[in-house]
Structure 1
Amino acid sequence: MGKAGGRVDFEWVYNDQPHTSRRKEILAKYPQIKSLMGPDPQLKWVVSGMVLTQLLACYLVHDLSWKWVIFWAYAFGGCINHSLTLAIHDISHNVAFGNKLAKWNRWFAMWANLPIGVPYSAAFKKYHIDHHRYLGGDQLDVDIPTDTEGWFFYTPARKVLWLFLQPLFYALRPLVVNPKPVGQIEIQNTVVQLTADAIIYYFWGVKPIVYLIAGSILCMGLHPISGHFIAEHYMFMKGHETYSYYGPLNWITFNVGYHMEHHDFPSIPGSKLPLVKKIAAEYYDCLPQHTSWSRVLWDFVFDDSIGPYARIKREYKLSKQE
């Protein structure tokens, strides 16, 4: 047939995303879940420890041979950096300092951004809001691959290449699908990041910079932790657009695997999402879920029915204000 399972387009639906109605139903039955909303007081300390660990690693790798710089970037530093991108994901929902201190969250996200090597946090925040508000929205949710990606990356070899290049697509896709003007916060993020990179380069040379950026790229591409990118919203079962994973990799990814729960309650910190599942177990235990992110990557590559086109899309009618 040429394309994956004969699929030549996304799965178009004409109903609202399920998270809105389930949130209302769960809160009506379990109003105590509201007490889980709000800041996580431990998050700032965990993130700061990770940033300082990477700063120490920059010193430790500056005299290593290049092969060991790349090895440790993939095996260690990149894992921390990927975890920091997921911390930034949490912080984008104002769970570090709460909604009343929104600017503190933005600046703290820049602190978490430093080991990643390239400015990321401010732009992510801007687009991630749309991902929740317009899940699956055509031209609105830039988490969804483009038609070109769906058309081209359909064989196993091409899907492996697509996974490897995933950081590039995540960076460039918003500029193509839904470009937004650069704001002051993005400029600040860039200035802070480039200043930090320059200081590291001044003291320890280019190897720590390569260690940080290469780790970010490699571990957001073809890496077991990156299975969450595919696991979260790719349609492994027809009609289901969000999936959770409850395995041990949640320990180092701020519970991003609890993705069904996160979309139902985005204002609840990742550290408390297991409590959501425990309280409202009957709403989540019966839903499709993943047991291994590595298996997700394997199935994505070798299952003909799954590929970049295996996403649910819908149209949203926007008001003039939006």
Structure 2
Amino acid sequence: MGKTGGRGDFEWVYTDQPHTSRRKEILAKYPQIKSLMGPDPQLKWVVSGMVLTQLLACFLVRDLSWKWIFFWAYAFGGCINHSLTLAIHDISHNVAFGNKLAKWNRWFAMWANLPIGLPYSAAFKKYHIDHHRYLGGDQLDVDIPTDFEGWFFCTPARKILWLFLQPLFYALRPLVVNPKPVGQLEIQNAMVQFVVDLIIYYLWGVKPIVYLIAGSILGMGLHPISGHFIAEHYMFLKGHETYSYYGALNLITFNVGYHMEHHDFPSIPGSKLPQVKEIAAEYYDSLPQHTSWSRVLWDFVFDDSIGPYSRIKREYKLSKQE
């Protein structure tokens, strides 16, 4: 458990991300894919059912012992909360109500945010745009670990700790790498979240609040679903920076595993991404893909050649303000 990781830096490339050119090529060959773009009418009902399920869980856990609070936070609440963060990911692309009702998407994301316990959705939207536009961009794409993370979390034991602390790094990394001013939507997000937290506390005490926040932290940390964080963009094969996963966990994660397809067509809802793969199968079937998120986590920890430095980075010739 003390072996040092093999990489000493990121994989720097001097080419554009592949998704832009592949998108143009696929659309030229299969223009019918454009019909998949637009809102998913079922998304608002699925997400609302998940939010209400967690509110019911808050009532049910109010008198449980602490050990059972944390057990259910990891085994049940963490799964739902992690799934809700991926719903927020989908909503950030305006697929709940469409581009013409962009504000409705932002407010609906705040509704999806409620069981997570801490305000998150408004800030995520702001940074996620950069992740798509400047994939791998130095000081632009905050999905990429910092140099400190790559240097320090280089042994199996440290990588396990890094996986456990992933929510913390995802929350703090933007403030270090590419800080942006706090906007009105983020203030509204925080106000709505804390008001609802106070109402839950007033009605049922502190245990439901701990259940929600612990579920978010545990569910996004060392958890089978969290394998998607590593699977999506960590370079398991040299030169390949985005990978898809077509397994069963897509059923509870809004098809986030179809990540190659998502970056090619970010305006297509997750529910329709399998249709993209079916229509343009020759573009995706031959690409490297993952078959298990749990195996991804195992390989990340114990494969000496893989670690936080296993990301492709590129320079974009623009200022961070652009």
- Name the TM tier (shorter chain): over 0.9
Partner deviation per Cα, 1:211-264 (whole Å, 9 max, x = no partner): 000000001000000000000000000000000000000000000000000000
Cα distance, 1:3 vs structure 2: 8.0
Unpaired segments ≥5 residues, structure 1: none
Q: Do the aligned partners of 2:2 and 2:157 also contact (CA within 8 Å) in 1?
A: no
1:321–1:225 distance in 2 versus 1, CA, 3 Å:
closer
d(CA) in 1 for partners of 2:320, 2:134: 16
Shift, 1:5, TM fit: 5.5
Asked if 1 retains the 8 angstrom alpha-carbon contact of 2:3 and 2:156, the reply is no
Residues in 2 aligned to 1:185 and 1:321: alpha-carbon distance in whole angstroms: 19
Residue 4 of structure 1 aligns to a residue in which SS? coil
Q: TM-score, normalised by structure 2?
A: 0.98
How many matched pairs?
A: 322
Q: Does the CA-based 8 Å contact 2:245-2:292 persist in structure 1?
A: yes
Aligned counterpart, 1:39: 39
Contact 1:4 1:305 (C-alpha < 8 Å) held by counterparts:
no
Assess, with a 3 A threshold, how the Cα gap between structure 1 residues 198 and 155 changes in structure 2: closer, same or farther. same
Distance 1:141 1:61, change over 3 A: same
Offset at residue 310 of structure 1 (A): 0.2
- Computed over aligned residues only, the root mean square deviation of the Cα atoms, in angstroms, reads 1.4
Q: How much has 1:7 moved relative to structure 2? A: 1.4
Contact (CA 8 Å) 2:73, 2:212: kept in 1 or not?
Answer: yes
- Match for residue 179 of structure 1? 179
Any conservation in 1 of the 2:6–2:306 contact (CA below 8 Å)? no
Q: Offset of 1:320 from its aligned partner?
A: 9.0
**d(CA) in 1 for partners of 2:234 and 2:25?**
25
| Cα 1:298/1:6, change in 2 over 3 Å | closer
On the 8 A contact 2:225/2:249 being kept in 1, the answer is yes
**Cα offsets for 1:2-56 (capped at 9, x unmatched):** 9856311000000000000000000000000000000000000000000000000
User: 2:5 aligns to what SS in structure 1?
Assistant: helix
Is the alpha carbon distance of 1:232 and 1:205 closer, same or farther for their aligned partners in structure 2, counting shifts above 3 Å?
Answer: same
Return the alpha-carbon distance in structure 1 between the equivalents of residues 320 and 234 of structure 2: 31
Q: 1: CA distance between counterparts of 2:247 and 2:148?
A: 33
Contact 2:54 2:115 in 1 (8 A): yes
149 and 320 in structure 1: CA distance in 2 versus 1, 3 angstrom threshold = closer
SS at match of 2:41: coil
Please report how far the alpha carbon of residue 93 of structure 1 lies from its aligned counterpart in structure 2 after TM superposition: 0.1
Counterpart-to-counterpart distance in 2, 1:162 and 1:7: 16
Q: Which runs of 4+ in 1 moved over 6 A?
A: none
CA pair 49-293 structure 1, distance change in 2 beyond 3 A: same
Kept in 2: contact 1:4–1:307 (CA 8 A): no
The verdict on how the C-alpha distance between 1:159 and 1:31 changes in structure 2, with shifts beyond 3 A counting, is same
User: Hey, what's the Cα distance between the residues in 2 that align with 1:320 and 1:10?
Assistant: 20
Secondary structure at the counterpart of residue 254 of structure 1: coil
Whole-Å separation in 1 of the counterparts to 2:4 and 2:132: 27
Counterpart CA distance in 1 for 2:152 and 2:317 is 29
Q: Which whole-Å deviations, capped at 9, do the CAs of 1:245-285 have from their partners, x for residues lacking one?
A: 00000000000000000000000000000000000000000
What percent identity do the matched residue pairs reach?
92
Conservation of the 8 A alpha-carbon contact between 2:178 and 2:320: no
Residue 152 of structure 1, CA deviation? 0.2
- 8 A Cα contact 1:81 1:215, kept in partner: yes
Residue 126 of structure 1 and its aligned partner are, at CA, apart by 0.2
Equivalent-residue separation in structure 2 for 1:42 and 1:281 (angstroms): 25
